Amino acid sequence: YKLWLQYTPITNPETVANYWENVQNVISTENSETLNIARSELKEGLKSMLGDHFDISKKADNIIVLGSFKSLNEKMKNQLKYDFDKIKKDGFIIKTLIEKDLKTTVITAKNDIGVLYGVFNFLRLIQTNKSIEKLNIIDSPKTDIRILNHWDNLDGTVERGYAGSSIWNWQKLPEFIDQRYIDYARANASIGINGTVLNNVNANALILTPHYIEKVAALADTFRSYGIKVYLTARFSAPIEIGGLKTADPSNPEVIKWWKEKANELYKAIPDFGGFVVKANSEGQPGPQNYGKNHVDGANMLADVLAPHGGIVMWRAFVYSEHDANDRAKQAYSEFVPYDGKFKENVLVQVKNGPIDFQPREPFHPMFGAMTKTPLMIEFQITQEYLGFSTHLVFLPKLYEEVLQSDTFSEGKGATVAKIVSGKINDHVLSGMAGVANIGSDLNWCGHPFAQANWYGFGRLAWNPDLSADSIANEWLRMTFSNEENFVKPIQKLMLQSRETVVNYMTPLGLHHIMATNHHYGPGPWVSNLSRPEWNPTYYHKADANGIGFDRSDTGSRATAQYFPEIAKQFNDIKKCPETYLLWFHHLPWDYELKNGKTLWNGLALQYQQGVNEVHDMQATWNRMQAYVDETRFKEVQMLLKIQYEEAKWWRDACLLYFQQFSKKTLPDGVEKAA
């Protein structure tokens, strides 16, 4: 329940003594709600890890000074002047200053929330057994909006949520502030998350009524001192549903007036309200197109009403229509790129990491790099809709890293998705990263003990999209479980491998969207009877007697042409296309020869088998960890891995049996036959 903020007592007396040398007292140079939180977090954290005697000593030596720049004494200000020039808003400095044997560790920032971030960073050093003797850390967030998207409904259910029900108790709000809200805010602040969208993208307009605004305001009040702003999903047709108007046409004066008044009402209740996320004209949601208007008209109308209050609009690019069934992967690009430069300054376009929908593996979305005049936010899914819910162990930062480090070539070599979303490439004022939350009412927050790492990792990457999945796994394990090398090493390896493993047993070689219909759990490559063509798995794998895969190259849908030439050429050419995306971009014969010399059929079958074998290895590794993990978590993971193993076999058997009807080939040696 404590997530990565376990603050586990350090048992080695020598290590404790070493830390102790540097942290004999904490002095705050000023007071504010945020700084009080920072101070008590630091004291409690240190006390928990280093023992009770903390704070008894009143020696003026070896102290930690906490406070923002303006509160420091002149001497410190002078010493830190140049460092301050290097940090941005919300950044922090942790520096050891030594003068005549007197040692001071200063944790400071331009604002209070920066100090809180600095405190969590300092505690992380001890949590992960790092030295704090001579520190010189200067760090700032690389994106402005680091936000969770809760797909939570007002009735307490969570769309694509696998960890219980919503943590927002609308019935008891605004009076009852559940301790969970505070724990949630703390956890988010500890990784630099500074925003939360409380309700589902498939929104209910009721959230914008006075009854709910009062409840939203209570949450905003709770989160404020942790640096977290509250945002809402606005349902585009709200003026009709709750405003009594006949239309939601964004050019209608009555509609504009209604939204203006709504914004005034929201900001009166929540002065620092963040703004709106909008899913419009997608999957049946209302939007400007219902009135013959376009995304720009809709987004800019809302942007105008929020602008005087400092609010923003995150307009989602997740659109695809049944009227253009040629290739769903191309639609968001086709619909949005022509609007580049037309959105108001306070609009960000929120783009999913890949062009289809949060698959175990997708190439990066071609919109990244293609809209130079519009800030694009990236949207990742933290909840595992297509990746085994909260049952399968999958460490998603590996997926995030793969996408963020993809080179779009939009400005020549090195224009990675990470640089585009952090606004570096086209110098955008706004930048951001959104993650669809995997949080619920389950005791352990996320359903699977390891799913917490995906929330953690998302936050760390939103702060710095260039961090490595490797380092994130390492710190999370140390903070959440143990610093024992015999534990950290093998389990870190297991986590880093886990995403490739799930790709192997679900969708190897670029296959995608072959999950069972609707719920997306388990295999369903045979489904072909759904009303919309692009809802059917057969639309995506196109297996037939000739072969398998979706031809998106120049001989097919030409989706490859949406990428910059360097990438387009690569994806287009069967020989150059990375095999991880092979069947995403090409339809190939069953006996096509893979790089390892195997036929496509044999290679595919062996990869499914490899996925199964890898889960088996994960089980064996975990089983050796009993000594390092508490009984509850040890058993939970053990039981979940057992299910994962059975389901990896299910995936292998179902997919291979199904595809075998077309390939008409036997399974190669090494692939187990379905029982």
**Residues at the site binding ligand GCU, with contacts judged by CB under 6 A:** 159-160, 201-202, 279, 318, 357, 385
Identify the bridge partners of residue 84 per DSSP, sorted by sequence position: none
End-to-end CA distance of the chain: 39
* Tokens coding 354: 């890949």
Q: Rounded to the nearest whole angstrom, what is the least distance from the CB of residue 317 to ligand GCU in the complex?
A: 10
Q: Rounded to the nearest whole angstrom, what is the least distance from the CB of residue 520 to ligand GCU in the complex?
A: 7
Q: Rounded to the nearest whole angstrom, what is the least distance from the CB of residue 275 to ligand GCU in the complex?
A: 18
* Tokens coding 464: 């710095």
Helices and strands (H, E) in the chain, number of each type:
20, 15
Nearer to ligand GCU, 159 or 484 (CB): 159
CA distance 384 to 381: 7
Q: Rounded to the nearest whole angstrom, what is the least distance from the CB of residue 318 to ligand GCU in the complex?
A: 5
* Burial environment of residue 58 by CB neighbours within 10 A (0 to 12, 13 to 18, 19 or more): exposed
Q: Rounded to the nearest whole angstrom, what is the least distance from the CB of residue 209 to ligand GCU in the complex?
A: 22
CA distance 562 to 565: 9
Tell me the DSSP string of 595-613.
TTS-BHHHHHHHHHHHHHH
* DSSP strands (E only) in 421-539: 432-436
Whether 456 contacts 439, CB under 8 Å: no
Nearer to ligand GCU, 124 or 520 (CB): 520
Q: Rounded to the nearest whole angstrom, what is the least distance from the CB of residue 379 to ligand GCU in the complex?
A: 8
Give the CB-side neighbour count of residue 416, counting CA atoms within 13 A: 13
* Tokens coding 506: 């679900």
Out of 304, 385, 402, 407, pick the active-site residue: 385
Out of 133, 283, 591, 593, pick the active-site residue: 283
CB within 8 Å of 627: residues ≥ 6 apart = none
Nearer to ligand GCU, 160 or 478 (CB): 160
Nearer to ligand GCU, 3 or 348 (CB): 348
Bin 398: left if φ > 0, else alpha if -120 < ψ < 50, else beta.
alpha
CA distance 320 to 340: 18
Q: Rounded to the nearest whole angstrom, what is the least distance from the CB of residue 518 to ligand GCU in the complex?
A: 8
DSSP-derived 3-state class of residue 593:
strand
Q: Rounded to the nearest whole angstrom, what is the least distance from the CB of residue 569 to ligand GCU in the complex?
A: 31
Closest CA to 480 of 9, 5, 1, 126: 5
Give CA torsion, residues 110, 116, 121, 124, to 10 deg. Answer: 170
CA distance 290 to 278: 15
CA distance 311 to 271: 10
Out of 112, 249, 357, 442, pick the active-site residue: 357
> What radius of gyration, in Å, describes the C-alpha atoms of the chain?
26
Neighbours of 514 (CB within 10 A): 26
- How distant, in Å, are the alpha carbons of 196, 297, 537 from that of 284? 24, 19, 20
CA distance 381 to 458: 9
Nearer to ligand GCU, 159 or 340 (CB): 159
Nearer to ligand GCU, 202 or 372 (CB): 202
Whether 349 contacts 343, CB under 8 Å: yes
Nearer to ligand GCU, 38 or 158 (CB): 158
* Tokens coding 51: 């023992």
Nearer to ligand GCU, 160 or 365 (CB): 160
Nearer to ligand GCU, 155 or 669 (CB): 155
> Catalytic: 579?
no
Whether 672 contacts 608, CB under 8 Å: no
> Catalytic: 41?
no
Nearer to ligand GCU, 202 or 334 (CB): 202
DSSP-derived 3-state class of residue 221:
helix
Nearer to ligand GCU, 190 or 383 (CB): 383
Strands 275-278 and 229-233: what pairing? parallel
Whether 405 contacts 418, CB under 8 Å: yes
Nearer to ligand GCU, 423 or 447 (CB): 447
Whether 466 contacts 404, CB under 8 Å: yes
CA distance 181 to 554: 51
Whether cis (ω within 30° of 0) applies to the bond prior to 174 is yes
Tallying the residues shown for the chain, one arrives at: 675
Q: Rounded to the nearest whole angstrom, what is the least distance from the CB of residue 459 to ligand GCU in the complex?
A: 20
Neighbours of 190 (CB within 10 A): 23
Q: Rounded to the nearest whole angstrom, what is the least distance from the CB of residue 364 to ligand GCU in the complex?
A: 17
Q: How distant is the alpha carbon of residue 97 from its chain centre?
A: 36
> Catalytic: 283?
yes
Q: Rounded to the nearest whole angstrom, what is the least distance from the CB of residue 380 to ligand GCU in the complex?
A: 11
Active-site residues, by number, are 283, 357, 385
